[in-house]
Amino acid sequence: MSHEIRHNRELVGKPAVTVDQAAGTYSSSVPLLLPAKAPAGTYKVITTIRAGDIGDSKETTFVVI
């Protein structure tokens, strides 16, 4: 599983987690850390999950004020 954190289309973080699991439904958490002086604005997080050649991505946003 990988995550891209973007602000104004610029990549500002890319935490990744590698796990080996059998087929099924799972949940996990990965801390998304930003510098203490991260600029205010809307950030986009793109999460990608891959299993062999198959993958899927989802996007969400959060706001730093």
Per the CB < 8 A criterion, the answer to whether 14 and 2 are in contact is yes
pLDDT in tens, the chain (65 residues): 889 999 999 999 998 777 777 777 877 778 888 888 999 999 999 999 888 899 999 999 999 99
3 forms beta bridges with 47
Question: What is the spatial distance between Cα 10 and Cα 18, in angstroms, rounded to a whole number?
Answer: 24
Question: Would you kindly state where each structural domain of the chain is located, as residue ranges?
Answer: 1-17+37-65
> Strand runs (DSSP E) across the chain, as ranges?
2-7, 10-13, 41-51, 54-64
Provide the 3-class DSSP secondary structure of residue 23.
Answer: coil
